């Protein structure tokens, strides 16, 4: 009898967990299921099932172009944000530099400022430096957004690094540049890999910055937003499902890789 | 320092077992281009300092502070972008406008109410889940249980918002199901209301609450709970006296993160909200996409939002009193 009472909180917690999982997965599952609906409006029950929407989406030039554009922006953002984030992290952990707390706070600022405000301030900023809206502005905005996350991830890893590794390299004749590339960077790599995947997902996902900084060429979220505003059909579901499957695969792969790096 | 011309220098192959890439690095390091640029720079203290701090500092000052500074500057101007023939002068009128019209005032209040309610609901919904994963699940299964929670978040913000429509629309899953089992004749209008917006917000941001809560709860030593149980504390007492105070850190950072995200959310109200749920970001965005010389007003409003949001988060931190953690 006592055992049953002791287990009651445990059972309800388990139930809460699975209910939450259901809550998380149900809308996405419904969204994916709807992409197979054989009619051009969104409504349950699905009735007739079809694959036509996927065929249509795969031939949709606008969609493919948006994919390409999003990937390009994500790649540029990732390279820029990883480089800058690592550099800033190196500055923060460097010996003999004062004001590290201030530098860290400034580095994290874009992660704390709400997305909308960050987007507007960047829109104003690019106009004051006479930069036109468009690809470069989007990449700049996404990079500003992604840098804090790289900084934090790199810092976490740098803190666990034995200080004598770099000293050893220096003793063996490496100057600080070589020591960074041969010792620190390889040590940082697992964290940077995770950070890079995070940058890609952040950039592909970002709507509000792209909305304010973008030109006429839509990125994926812009395209989906425009379609949702312009009248919904299962075509959007097919697009969203494709994007979802790809990004989830990237996320899972990253998770797998970081876990493997951790256990090795 | 071994950088003279006569010795091969760092990384030169001493025997055949040295991997090939190390000779490539030696080639770069010993090339005259490297020795005259980077190599020379790292020889001196100042060179090293500039190499280390130059780019990061320029980036941080120009792009992390620059935009906010420009926004502040423009919010104090009467006209921007400056047109020929129009004189732009310093003014506080843009800030005054906010307090003079309830049309502007009420969306901000609404934004705050929404963000607060969404934060509180997220905390209540997510806490048991975070606790379950951190303390009930066995350590081996923990990362799997966590992974299952992360999967939906690889879908983007927009896709998740869109999928909420599937659930709540008039012919969405909930309404159709309720009609099938005969509970209702007419669909309950759920979409484009405050309910759908709140539901969507919680759905969107629960991860930001989950991760800080999880890491805080996971750190609580299980022995504390066992000791309390041995001394006769029931589950509720253990929760109130041990778990809650010790997870305060996670609660504070999770709530602040969620609150600040909610305040600045832009696409979700446009997709899930209706005419009654015009939030402040939408109001601000109007100044940038409508008539062009309203930018200063938009900048001023954005700053008002930023400052009030940060103050609210600060007050919350002070009230709950999370342990002061040093950032570094």
- Looking at the fold, whether B158 and B255 belong to one and the same domain comes out as yes
* Coil/strand/helix, residue B77: strand
pLDDT of residue B84: 64
Domain assignments of chain A as residue spans, ordered by start: 3-34, 56-262
Chain B stretch 217-276, residues whose beta carbon is closer than 8 A to a beta carbon of chain A: 235, 260-261, 263-267, 270-271
Average pLDDT over residues B315-328: 63
Residue A261, pLDDT score: 67
Cβ-in-10-Å burial (0-12, 13-18, 19+) of A127 comes to middle
Taking the CA atoms of chain A, what radius of gyration do you get in angstroms?
23
B4 pLDDT tier (thresholds 50, 70, 90): very low
d(CA B63, CA A16): 43
For residues B117 and B239, membership in a common domain is answered with: yes
- Among B67, B75, B108, most A C-beta atoms within 10 A, so best to mutate, is B67
pTM greater than 0.95 (yes/no): no
Residue A201's nearest CA partner among A53, A74, A79 is A74
* Residue A142 pLDDT: 92
- Say whether B283 sits in a helix, a strand or coil: helix
Residue B86's pLDDT is 66
**Facing B327 at nearest CB: one of A105, A127, A143:** A105
C-beta separation of B77 from B89 below 8 A: yes
Phi and psi at residue B77, to the nearest 5° = -100, 155
pLDDT of residue B15: 45
**CA–CA distance, A99 with A92 (Å, rounded to integer):** 9
- Residue A152: CB partners within 8 Å, gap ≥ 6? A108
Query: Alpha-carbon distance A61 to A66, whole Å?
Result: 8
Calpha distance A2→A11 (Å, rounded): 14
Confidence of residue B322 (pLDDT cuts 50, 70, 90): low
pLDDT tens, residue by residue, A207-259: 888 888 887 888 888 888 888 888 778 888 888 898 888 888 888 888 787 77
CB pairs under 8 A between A and B: 272
Specify the pLDDT at position A143.
Answer: 93
Q: How many residues are there in chain A?
A: 264
Residues in chain B: 328
Res A107: pLDDT: 87
Residues 6+ apart with CB under 8 A from B112: B263, B308, B312
Closest CA of chain B from A83, distance in Å: 10
Q: What is the mean pLDDT of chain B?
A: 79
Residues B190 and B280 in one domain: yes
User: Domain for residue B158, yes or no?
Assistant: yes
CA angle A225-A226-A232, nearest 5°? 85
B3 or B228, which is more confident? B228
Domain that holds residue B31: 26-70
Which residues are CB-neighbours of A71 under 8 A, at least 6 positions away?
A: A204
CA B12 to chain centre: 47
Kind plus residue range of the DSSP H or E element containing A27: helix A2-34
**Whether residue B327 has pLDDT greater than 50:** no
Question: What CATH number does residue B116 fall under?
Answer: 1.10.3720.10
Between CA B132 and CA B125 the distance in angstroms is: 12
Tokens standing for B155?
Answer: 């879908």
* Span A77-103, average pLDDT: 87
Cross-strand pairs, B90: B77
Looking at residue B14, what is its pLDDT? 46
Residue B7 lies in a domain: no
pLDDT of residue A55: 84
**What does the alpha-carbon distance between residue B11 and residue B23 come to, in Å, rounded to a whole number?**
6
Query: Which has the higher per-residue pLDDT, B85 or A123?
Result: A123
Residue A191 in 3-state DSSP?
A: helix
Share of chain B above pLDDT 90, in %: 2
Mark whether B162 and B304 lie in a shared domain.
Answer: yes
> Could you tell me if residue B15 is inside a domain?
no
Q: With left for phi above 0 and alpha for psi between -120 and 50, is residue A173 left, alpha or beta?
A: left
Question: What's the CA gap between B229 and B265, in Å, rounded?
Answer: 43
Going by pLDDT thresholds of 50, 70 and 90, the confidence category of residue A144 is very high
> Is 80 exceeded by the pLDDT of residue B204?
yes
Closest among B158, B111, B114 to B308, alpha carbons compared: B111
* Closest approach of B66 to chain A, Cα-based (Å): 7
Residue in A10, A100, A204 nearest the CB of B156: A204
What is the C-alpha to C-alpha distance for residues B273 and B259, in angstroms, rounded to an integer? 18
Cα distance between residue B239 and residue A129, in whole Å: 54
Residue A258 in contact with partner chain B when CB distance is under 8 A: no
| Selection from B100, B101, B204 nearest residue B159 by Cα | B204
The pLDDT of residue B17 is 44
Q: Is the dihedral of CA A35, A40, A43, A45 positive or negative?
A: negative
Per-residue confidence at A138, pLDDT binned at 50, 70, 90? very high
> What is the mean predicted confidence (pLDDT) over B7-11?
44
Does any CB of chain A come closer than 8 Å to the CB of residue B312?
no
Beta bridge partners of B77: B90
What φ, ψ does residue A260 adopt, rounded to 5°?
Answer: -65, -40
Using the 8-state DSSP alphabet, how is residue A262 labeled? H
> At residue A38, does pLDDT exceed 70?
yes
Q: Which residues of A touch B160 (CB under 8 A)?
A: 27-28
- Look at the alpha carbons of B116, B119, B122, B127 in this order and tell me if their dihedral is positive or negative: negative
Contact B315, B256 (CB under 8 A): no
Residues of A in contact with B18 (CB under 8 A): none
Rounded Cα distance between B22 and B36, Å, is 21
Q: Show the tokens assigned to A54.
A: 């996927």
Rg (CA), chain B: 28
Contact A91 B52 (CB under 8 A): yes
Helices B66-75 and A115-128 sit at what angle, rounded to 10 degrees? 80
d(CA B172, CA B187): 9
- Cα–Cα distance measured from residue A190 to residue A203, given in angstroms and rounded to the nearest whole number: 20
pLDDT digit string, tens, across residues B163-189: 888 888 877 778 888 888 877 777 778
Assess if residue B202 is contained within a domain: yes
pLDDT of A2 higher than 50? no
Q: Which helix (H) or strand (E) holds B280?
A: helix B280-289
Is the pLDDT reported for residue B278 higher than 60? yes
What are the residue ranges of helices labelled H in B84-135?
Answer: 93-100, 102-131
C-alpha span between B155 and B135 (Å, rounded) = 28
Class of domain A56-262: mainly alpha
Nearest Cβ partner for A114 among B42, B235, B263: B263
Q: How far apart are CA B141 and CA A227, in angstroms?
A: 41
Do B43 and B188 lie in a common domain? no
Is there a single domain that holds both residue B64 and residue B165? no
User: Which residue, chain included where needed, has tokens 């869109």?
Assistant: B162
Q: What is the pLDDT of residues B286-301, one digit of tens each?
A: 888 765 568 888 888 8
What pLDDT was estimated at residue A226? 87
Tell me the C-alpha to C-alpha distance, in Å, between residue A262 and each of B150, B287, B314: 19, 49, 36
Read off the DSSP letter of residue B322: P
The predicted structure's pLDDT at residue A229: 83
Q: What pLDDT is stored for residue B85 in this prediction?
A: 64
CB-based contact, B210 to chain A, within 8 Å: no
Residues A146-194: pLDDT tens digits? 999 999 888 888 888 887 887 887 777 677 777 788 788 888 888 888 8
**How far apart, in Å, do the first and last CA atoms of chain A sit?**
45
Please check the confidence at residue A76 and state whether its pLDDT lies above 90.
Answer: yes
Q: How many CB atoms lie within 10 A of CB B140?
A: 7
Q: How many domains does chain B have?
A: 2
């Amino acid at each position: 009898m006592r055992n049953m009472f002791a287990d009651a909180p445990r059972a309800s917690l388990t139930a809460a967990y699975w209910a939450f999982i259901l809550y998380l997965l149900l809308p996405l599952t419904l969204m994916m299921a709807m992409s197979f609906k054989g009619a051009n409006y969104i409504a349950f029950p699905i009735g007739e099932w079809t694959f036509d929407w996927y065929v249509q989406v795969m031939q949709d030039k606008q969609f493919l172009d948006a994919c390409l554009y999003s990937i390009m922006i994500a790649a540029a953002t990732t390279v820029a944000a990883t480089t800058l984030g690592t550099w800033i992290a190196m500055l923060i952990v460097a010996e003999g530099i004062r004001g590290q707390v201030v530098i860290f706070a400034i580095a994290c600022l874009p992660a704390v400022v709400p997305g909308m405000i960050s987007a507007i301030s960047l829109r104003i900023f690019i106009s004051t430096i006479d930069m036109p809206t468009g690809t470069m502005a989007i990449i700049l905005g996404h990079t500003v957004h992604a840098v804090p996350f790289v900084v934090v991830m790199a810092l976490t890893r740098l803190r666990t690094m034995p200080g004598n590794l770099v000293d050893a390299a220096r003793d063996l004749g490496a100057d600080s540049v070589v020591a960074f590339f041969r010792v620190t960077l390889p040590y940082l790599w697992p964290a940077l890999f995770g950070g890079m995947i995070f940058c890609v997902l952040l950039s592909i996902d970002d709507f509000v910055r792209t909305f304010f900084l973008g030109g006429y060429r839509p990125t994926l979220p812009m395209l989906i937003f425009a379609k949702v505003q312009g009248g919904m059909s299962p075509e959007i579901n097919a697009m969203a499902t494709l994007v979802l499957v790809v990004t989830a695969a990237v996320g899972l792969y990253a998770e797998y890789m970081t876990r493997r790096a951790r256990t090795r | 320092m071994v950088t003279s011309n006569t010795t091969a220098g760092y990384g030169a192959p001493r025997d055949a077992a040295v991997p090939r890439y190390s000779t490539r690095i030696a080639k770069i390091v010993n090339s005259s281009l490297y020795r005259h640029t980077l190599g020379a720079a790292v020889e001196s203290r100042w060179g090293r300092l500039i190499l280390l701090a130059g780019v990061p500092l320029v980036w941080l000052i120009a792009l992390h502070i620059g935009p906010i500074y420009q926004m502040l500057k423009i919010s104090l101007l009467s006209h921007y972008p400056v047109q020929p023939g129009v004189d732009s002068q310093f003014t506080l009128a843009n800030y005054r406008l906010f307090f003079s019209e309830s049309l502007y005032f009420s969306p901000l209040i609404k934004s705050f109410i929404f963000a607060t309610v969404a934060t509180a609901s997220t905390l209540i919904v997510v806490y048991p889940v975070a606790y379950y994963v951190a303390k009930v699940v066995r350590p081996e299964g923990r990362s799997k249980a966590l992974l299952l929670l992360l999967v939906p978040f690889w879908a983007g913000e927009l896709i998740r918002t869109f999928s909420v429509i599937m659930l709540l629309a008039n012919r969405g899953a909930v309404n159709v199901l309720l009609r099938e089992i005969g509970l209702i004749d007419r669909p309950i209008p759920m979409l484009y209301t405050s309910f759908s917006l709140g539901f969507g917000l919680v759905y969107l941001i629960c991860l930001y609450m989950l991760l800080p809560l999880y890491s805080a709860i996971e750190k609580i030593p299980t022995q504390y709970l066992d000791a309390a149980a041995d001394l006769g504390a029931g589950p509720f007492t253990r929760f109130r006296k041990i778990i809650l105070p010790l997870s305060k850190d996670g609660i504070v950072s999770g709530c602040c993160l969620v609150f600040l995200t909610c305040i600045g959310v832009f696409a979700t109200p446009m997709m899930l909200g209706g005419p009654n749920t015009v939030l402040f970001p939408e109001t601000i965005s109007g100044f940038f996409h409508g008539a062009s010389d309203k930018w200063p007003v938009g900048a001023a409003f954005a700053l008002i939002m930023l400052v009030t949001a940060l103050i609210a988060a600060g007050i919350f931190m002070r009230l709950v009193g999370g342990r002061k953690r040093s950032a570094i």
